[in-house]
């Protein structure tokens, strides 16, 4: 605990997070020029855009200096560099306002290490503040630019984009308003704007973002309004109370939500006079009086004695925090000394409770957005004489109205909904009108209600199911269906999908009903995890609330048909891309379309990789697609990764898939790349395009055979908006769908264009910006926008055109789903010492690694099985398969084992197969039995995918058998005995200390706390060895001298794990109410329990399989004891288990089954899928 170390703590050097991708200069000659202007055709449209023409003085010098803001230490008397941006800005403002520079010198400061001026300044130079306690240290002259650099680039006289000159002028514009605005993440917020509370303690502020744009004719300033949610500047304790809506200590569920909400939030502390900044990691469960620091004081004593702060809210847990970017020294702070820092953006989604506390979020109409932008610009008042910075650099802007320009409206595509039917496309909508191009029949459809109130919702469910089935019939989708009701618990969901898999159900339509958004989110995750991932069953989730609210249930079901038919490999529509390709496609041309996207965490680590996705079309019409997902990460530490480093492998695989489907390779490739930030075009050209060409090398060989490649960057995140304003009526509406803008505000000579390919039903249209980085195909100014527009109609699941080409949209969705699948914020929220990676000092490409996600095979030896076979999930899967086995679930098959005798009857090779089609797995255990040579069985368990036959893993059979047998014993104990036990008095006895005895001791001590444990073995050396092995972690193990030892009658649970052929336990040796797991004998000639114990009227006998027990269990065969039930029958029969008298002896007799091996292999495999780094 480091809470009292702040005064003496030496801050580590802060290592910035750097990119591992080498920088690349983007030269003018490296990008294709804009093709000749398009021939006038079709409809034109006059638009306004939120760009405003502006200008600066010509040939104005712009000087940059390296500087530092310094203060003198109160104790050391030495100057040190100030780090906080706010503090630096305050000191700099004081120096400037108090005459630190000559009156004819203007300067502006970026609040970090750069000072700018239009005048030459002496360096090095020190300028002190009036009070002499702080100063500006101008270290050196860094560089010089000019406003002419911008004009030269616009006119084509310069070949390098003037990033620095633009950045310096954008900084000047913000600084010209510094007394009136707060800048947060490049967004500006006027200080006189009133913040609006939005519930949960948060508030919203209305602001704007501005940027200078170098367009085809001039420089413009774009203004876009922003609405941002912020954390409140308030006491952390007050925020906790506000967030939960009560002045009390939160419960466990509320702490969990607060952990998510406040993760990485910055706070300041009372003892540092609200200056020292920490980052919140999580709330600790301990209170201030329960945490001691190195001096031995509790936090209460420390704050009272050292900080003179008397803590009053000591019943609240502490919060664990870190110094920013220093995650190896956690500190613990009482809530009442913490305060949330001001101006922190809250960018996590609002909870249902927060949404309930505010009116539905209003989306401004086009005319409202237009007016808000004009109002915001006029409030900036850059042309004011009082704005000295703007006046001195000669900045002026036309803020009277938005810039007017002309757009072309492209023709909509021809879309086939069948061989002889065409969709009547209107305003981007794609009606099917009763037709699917290729309807695919469903052999079995399950319409399943997941909820707890079927009686109340039965009529709605019936209406929905009837409507859906009628629509499917109308669209010629042949289907056999069944209806089910499932309680939305993980056990019931697993059971249902297991049942569906057993019955070979092809598709499950999941109708979800829940009380809260969080419940529904978890329910959907469980359905996808269980149905799609575990069993490979196609699923489609539907919210019953949306069904109820939908006015046109038929229309809703028609949209569902699109998704169902698409997932079932049917074809909904085909877009005639030949219409857009025109002269760019001959009869021998084969086109392939790619879309790619990357989702980056803030800092990429091995634990939090970036997710890269590449989608490739499977034909020239882009009617079907394939996808590849890749994780990319540094081998250690953290860095940033802007490019797709697995591009070559993914493109190669998708090209090979195209060849398999079409028997030919494409000769023309159009590649759309999303997720590229400004200034990264050079890295894409230097790294990704060559990676694609390397994939061509691998597939096509000689360069002369390579396909022609056109590569386009898609940019969705930009601030340009367009408005259709009628000059006479002044009415403001959205731009038309299909409008393309490739003049006036686009690049001066590079090939880029804006395209609005979708219709906004709310708010203002957000057209995408496309920038061509390579064009070997040679599209004209008409052809590429038209092709791009028509590709926005090719998503078979959508009833309208997309905002971007469908291959890119599918990549976006796949990346988001992959992120949700592989990131578990709940698990990763707790940070231990060293749990967060440190930045790499000089990351290189060689420091990076990637992995294309696919099913991996792995061998688990006996040590790996023991270490990785988690007992809790194993209990769940065992309960499921045993329950289904007892119900004679047809999806679970367990044929008779095959035995191949070798040399004589004693040596044998055994195969134990089984299949679980509901879960999508099949398994075979192959073992040898050579009793005179090997003391135990030897062999492997092999797990396969039952849908495609692929081998998934191989594991050691001996350890699998031991662990799953012991876990089944504990499952029986849990059902039949644990409700009668108390931990402080519970006694466990294990008879037989070989492989099974050790496994039972392992499992039973991990899952339950025993007061006493007794061991006995026919070979007491084994018992002594087992006690010795566990002596370091269990001090309650004792050895029994023999089975007549009186202590055995103290036992609450007894596990017999021997291969004895003579009974070891009789009725007189055990007490009433004891539970016995008899797992050692597995032949008719073997037994561990005497007849009087088996046949006593006080004894209840349960088995794992009646069929197997009657054939193989010596105790059952020899005593002819009555079997009450199979263990699987008790899984959901709590009343039976609870009704067993405390004095009743319960015996669980197990001979083992192949389905138990299957359960263990499934848990191992799913562990392998979760731990992708192994």
Residue 994 near residue 1017 (C-beta atoms within 8 A): yes
Do both 278 and 251 map to the same domain? yes
> What is the dihedral sign for C-alpha 1065, 1067, 1070, 1074?
positive
What phi, psi does 739 have (nearest 5°)?
-75, 135
Strands 708-715 and 668-673: parallel
921 assigned to some structural domain: yes
844 assigned to some structural domain: no
- Among 797, 827, 857, residue at a domain's last position: 827
Residue 866 near residue 873 (C-beta atoms within 8 A): no
Do both 910 and 1043 map to the same domain? no
Q: Compute how many other C-beta atoms are within 10 angstroms of the C-beta atom of residue 26.
A: 21
Residue 36 near residue 45 (C-beta atoms within 8 A): no
Query: Is the confidence at residue 86, as pLDDT, over 80?
Result: yes
Strands annotated E in 797-916: 848-852, 858-860, 892-893, 898-902, 907-916
Cα 341 off chain centre by: 28
- Find the length of the chain: 1174
Average pLDDT in the 268-285 region? 89
Residue 1001 near residue 1025 (C-beta atoms within 8 A): no
Burial of residue 296 (CB within 10 Å: 0-12, 13-18, 19+) is exposed
Q: What is the CATH number of the domain that holds 881?
A: 3.30.1780.10
Q: Cα(226)–Cα(234) distance, rounded to whole angstroms?
A: 24
Highest-scoring range by mean pLDDT, 478-487, 531-540, 943-952: 478-487
Query: Is the confidence at residue 945, as pLDDT, over 90?
Result: no
Q: Cα(1051)–Cα(578) distance, rounded to whole angstroms?
A: 81
Do both 104 and 88 map to the same domain? yes
The domain total for the chain is 6
Burial of residue 951 (CB within 10 Å: 0-12, 13-18, 19+) is exposed
Do both 241 and 211 map to the same domain? no
Q: Cα(485)–Cα(503) distance, rounded to whole angstroms?
A: 16
Residue 481 near residue 467 (C-beta atoms within 8 A): no
Average pLDDT in the 651-658 region? 90
Do both 195 and 180 map to the same domain? yes
Do both 1127 and 1147 map to the same domain? yes
Average pLDDT in the 26-44 region? 76
Query: Is the confidence at residue 24, as pLDDT, over 80?
Result: no
Residue 153 near residue 162 (C-beta atoms within 8 A): yes
Please count the CA atoms within 13 angstroms of the CA of 469 that sit on its side-chain side. 15
Digit-coded pLDDT (tens) for 181-218: 999 999 999 999 999 998 889 999 999 999 999 998 89
Residues 6 or more apart in contact with residue 986 via CB below 8 angstroms: 1008, 1009, 1010, 1011, 1012, 1052, 1053
Coil, helix or strand for 581? helix
Average pLDDT of the residues of the chain: 87
pLDDT band at 2 (very low <50, low <70, confident <90, very high): very low
Q: What is the CATH number of the domain that holds 336?
A: 2.170.260.10
Q: What is the CATH number of the domain that holds 968?
A: 3.40.50.720
What phi, psi does 1134 have (nearest 5°)?
-65, -35
Cis peptide before 436 (omega within 30 of 0): no
Cα 1020 off chain centre by: 53
Q: Cα(578)–Cα(1057) distance, rounded to whole angstroms?
A: 73
Do both 810 and 676 map to the same domain? yes
pLDDT for residue 349: 64
664 assigned to some structural domain: yes
- Among 544, 570, 596, residue at a domain's last position: 570
Selected residue with higher pLDDT from 839 and 1036: 1036
- CA distance to 296, 311, 338, per residue, from 304 (Å): 14, 7, 16
837 assigned to some structural domain: no
Coil, helix or strand for 276? coil
Q: Which two tokens stand for residue 1054?
A: 């007894």
- Among 341, 372, 396, residue at a domain's last position: 341
Digit-coded pLDDT (tens) for 136-154: 999 999 999 999 999 999 9
Do both 596 and 662 map to the same domain? yes
Digit-coded pLDDT (tens) for 762-817: 889 999 999 999 999 999 999 999 999 999 999 888 888 999 999 999 999 888 87
Q: Compute how many other C-beta atoms are within 10 angstroms of the C-beta atom of residue 58.
A: 10
- CA distance to 434, 1054, 1069, per residue, from 1015 (Å): 73, 10, 15
pLDDT for residue 506: 85
Do both 662 and 795 map to the same domain? yes
Do both 536 and 599 map to the same domain? no
Do both 644 and 792 map to the same domain? yes
Highest-scoring range by mean pLDDT, 490-499, 691-700, 896-905: 691-700
45 assigned to some structural domain: no
Token look-up 């002028």 returns 169
Q: Cα(1150)–Cα(1156) distance, rounded to whole angstroms?
A: 11
Strands 403-409 and 43-49: antiparallel
Q: What is the CATH number of the domain that holds 559?
A: 3.40.50.2300
C-alpha radius of gyration, the chain, whole number:
36
415 assigned to some structural domain: no
Do both 128 and 246 map to the same domain? no
Digit-coded pLDDT (tens) for 122-139: 999 999 998 889 999 999
Residues 6 or more apart in contact with residue 49 via CB below 8 angstroms: 222, 402, 403, 405, 720, 721, 722, 723, 741, 745
64 assigned to some structural domain: yes
Residue 755 near residue 681 (C-beta atoms within 8 A): no
866 assigned to some structural domain: no
Digit-coded pLDDT (tens) for 380-401: 999 999 999 999 999 999 999 9
Stated pTM of the model: 0.71
- Alpha helices in 214-311, H assignment, sequence order: 236-244, 252-262, 299-305
Residue 572 near residue 437 (C-beta atoms within 8 A): yes
Domain residues for 173? 51-230
């Amino acid at each position: 605990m480091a809470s009292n170390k702040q005064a003496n703590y030496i801050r580590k050097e802060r290592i910035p997070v750097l990119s591992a991708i080498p920088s690349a200069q983007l030269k003018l000659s490296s990008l294709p020029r804009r093709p000749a202007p398009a021939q006038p055709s079709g409809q034109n449209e006059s638009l306004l855009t939120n760009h405003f023409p502006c200008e600066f003085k010509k040939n104005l010098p712009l000087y940059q200096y390296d500087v530092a803001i310094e203060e003198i230490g109160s104790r050391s008397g030495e100057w040190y560099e100030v780090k906080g941006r706010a503090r630096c800005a305050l000191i700099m403002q004081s120096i400037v306002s108090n005459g630190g520079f000559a009156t004819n010198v203007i300067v502006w400061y970026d609040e970090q290490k750069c000072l700018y001026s239009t005048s030459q300044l002496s360096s090095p130079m020190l300028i002190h503040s009036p009070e002499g306690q702080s100063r500006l240290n101008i270290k050196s002259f860094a560089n010089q630019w000019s406003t002419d650099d911008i004009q030269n680039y616009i006119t084509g006289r310069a070949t390098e984009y003037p990033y620095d000159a633009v950045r310096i002028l954008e900084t000047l514009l913000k600084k010209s308003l510094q007394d009136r605005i707060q800048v947060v993440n490049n967004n500006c917020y006027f200080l006189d704007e009133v913040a609006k509370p939005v519930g949960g303690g948060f508030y919203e502020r209305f602001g704007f973002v501005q940027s200078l744009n170098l367009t085809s004719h001039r420089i413009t300033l774009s203004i876009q309004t922003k609405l941002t949610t912020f954390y409140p500047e308030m006491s952390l304790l007050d925020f906790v109370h506000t967030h939960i809506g009560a002045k009390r200590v939160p419960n466990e569920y509320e702490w969990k939500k607060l952990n998510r909400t406040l993760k990485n939030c910055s706070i300041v502390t009372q003892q540092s006079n609200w200056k020292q900044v920490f980052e919140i990691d999580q709330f600790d469960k301990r209170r201030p009086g329960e945490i001691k620091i190195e001096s031995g004081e509790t936090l209460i004593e420390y704050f009272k004695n050292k900080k003179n702060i008397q803590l009053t809210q000591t019943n609240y847990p502490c919060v664990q925090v870190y110094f920013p970017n220093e995650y190896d020294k956690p500190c613990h702070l009482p809530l009442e000394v913490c305060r949330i820092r001001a101006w922190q953006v809250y960018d996590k989604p609002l909870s249902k409770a927060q949404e309930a506390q505010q009116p539905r979020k209003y989306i401004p109409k086009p005319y409202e957005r237009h007016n808000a932008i004009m109002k915001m610009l006029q409030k900036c008042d850059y042309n004011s004489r009082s704005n000295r910075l703007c006046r001195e650099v000669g900045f002026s802007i036309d803020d009277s109205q938005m810039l007017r320009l002309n757009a072309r409206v492209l023709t909509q595509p021809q879309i086939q909904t069948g061989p002889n039917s065409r969709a009547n496309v209107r305003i981007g909508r794609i009606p099917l009108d009763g037709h699917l191009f290729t309807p695919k029949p469903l052999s079995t459809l399950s319409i399943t209600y997941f909820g707890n109130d079927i009686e109340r919702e039965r009529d709605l469910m019936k209406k929905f199911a009837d409507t859906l089935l009628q629509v499917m019939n109308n669209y010629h989708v042949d289907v056999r269906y069944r209806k089910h009701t499932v309680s939305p618990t993980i056990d019931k969901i697993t059971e249902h999908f297991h049942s569906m898999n057993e019955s070979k159900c092809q598709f499950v339509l999941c109708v979800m009903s829940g009380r809260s958004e969080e419940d529904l989110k978890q329910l959907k995750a469980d359905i996808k995890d269980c149905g799609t991932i575990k069993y490979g069953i196609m699923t489609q989730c539907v919210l019953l609330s949306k069904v109820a609210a939908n006015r046109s249930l038929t229309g809703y079901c028609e949209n569902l048909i699109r998704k169902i038919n698409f997932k079932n490999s049917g074809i909904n529509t085909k877009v005639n891309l030949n219409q857009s390709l025109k002269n760019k496609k001959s009869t021998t041309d084969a086109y392939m379309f790619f879309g790619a996207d990357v989702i980056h965490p803030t800092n990429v680590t091995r634990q939090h990789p970036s997710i890269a996705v590449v989608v490739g079309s499977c034909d020239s019409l882009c009617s079907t697609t394939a996808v590849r997902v890749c994780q990319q990460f540094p081998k250690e530490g953290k860095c940033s990764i802007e490019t797709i480093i697995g591009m070559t492998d993914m493109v190669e695989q998708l090209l090979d898939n195209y060849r398999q489907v079409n028997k030919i390779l494409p000769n023309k490739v159009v590649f759309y790349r999303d997720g590229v930030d400004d200034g990264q075009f050079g890295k894409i050209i230097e790294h990704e395009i060559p990676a694609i060409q390397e994939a061509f090398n691998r597939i096509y060989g000689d360069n002369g055979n390579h396909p022609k490649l056109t590569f386009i960057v898609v940019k969705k995140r930009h601030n340009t908006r367009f408005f259709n304003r009628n000059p006479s009526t002044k009415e403001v509406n959205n731009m038309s769908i299909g409008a393309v803008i490739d003049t006036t505000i686009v690049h001066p000579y590079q090939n880029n264009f804006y395209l609005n390919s979708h219709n906004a039903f709310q708010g203002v249209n957000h057209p995408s910006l496309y920038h061509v980085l390579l064009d070997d195909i040679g599209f004209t100014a008409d052809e590429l926008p038209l092709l791009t527009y028509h590709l926005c109609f090719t998503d078979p699941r959508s009833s309208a055109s997309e905002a971007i080409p469908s291959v890119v949209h599918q990549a976006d969705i796949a990346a988001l789903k992959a992120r949700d699948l592989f990131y578990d914020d709940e698990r990763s929220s707790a940070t231990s010492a060293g749990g967060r990676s440190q930045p790499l000092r000089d990351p290189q490409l060689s420091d990076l690694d990637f992995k294309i996600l696919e099913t991996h095979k792995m061998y688990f030896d006996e040590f790996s099985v023991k270490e990785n076979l988690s007992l809790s999930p194993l209990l769940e899967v065992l309960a499921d398969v045993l329950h289904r086995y007892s119900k004679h679930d047809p999806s679970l098959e367990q044929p008779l084992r095959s035995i191949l005798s070798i040399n004589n009857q004693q040596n044998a090779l055994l195969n134990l197969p089984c299949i679980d089609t509901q879960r999508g797995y099949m398994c075979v255990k192959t073992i040898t039995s050579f009793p005179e040579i090997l003391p135990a069985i030897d062999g492997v368990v092999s797990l396969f995918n039952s849908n495609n036959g692929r081998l998934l893993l191989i594991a050691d059979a001996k350890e699998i058998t031991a662990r799953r047998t012991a876990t089944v014993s504990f499952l029986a104990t849990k059902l039949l005995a644990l409700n009668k036990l108390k931990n402080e008095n519970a006694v466990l006895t294990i008879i037989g200390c070989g492989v099974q005895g050790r496994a039972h001791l392992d499992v039973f001590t991990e899952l339950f706390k025993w007061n006493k444990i007794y061991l006995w073995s026919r070979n007491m050396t084994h018992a002594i060895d087992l006690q010795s092995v566990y002596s370091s972690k269990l001090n309650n193990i004792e050895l029994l001298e023999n089975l007549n030892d009186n202590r055995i009658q103290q036992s609450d649970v007894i596990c017999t794990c021997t291969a004895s052929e003579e009974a070891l336990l009789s009725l007189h040796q055990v007490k009433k109410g004891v539970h016995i797991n008899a797992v050692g004998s597995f032949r008719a000639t073997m037994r561990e329990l005497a007849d009087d114990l088996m046949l006593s009227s006080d004894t209840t006998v349960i088995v794992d399989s009646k069929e197997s027990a009657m054939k193989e269990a010596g105790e059952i065969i020899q005593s002819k004891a009555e079997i009450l039930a199979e263990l699987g029958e008790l899984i959901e029969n709590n009343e039976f288990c609870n009704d067993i008298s405390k004095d009743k002896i319960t015996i669980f007799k197990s001979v083992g089954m192949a389905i138990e091996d299957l359960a263990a292999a499934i848990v191992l495999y799913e562990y392998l899928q979760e731990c992708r780094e192994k």
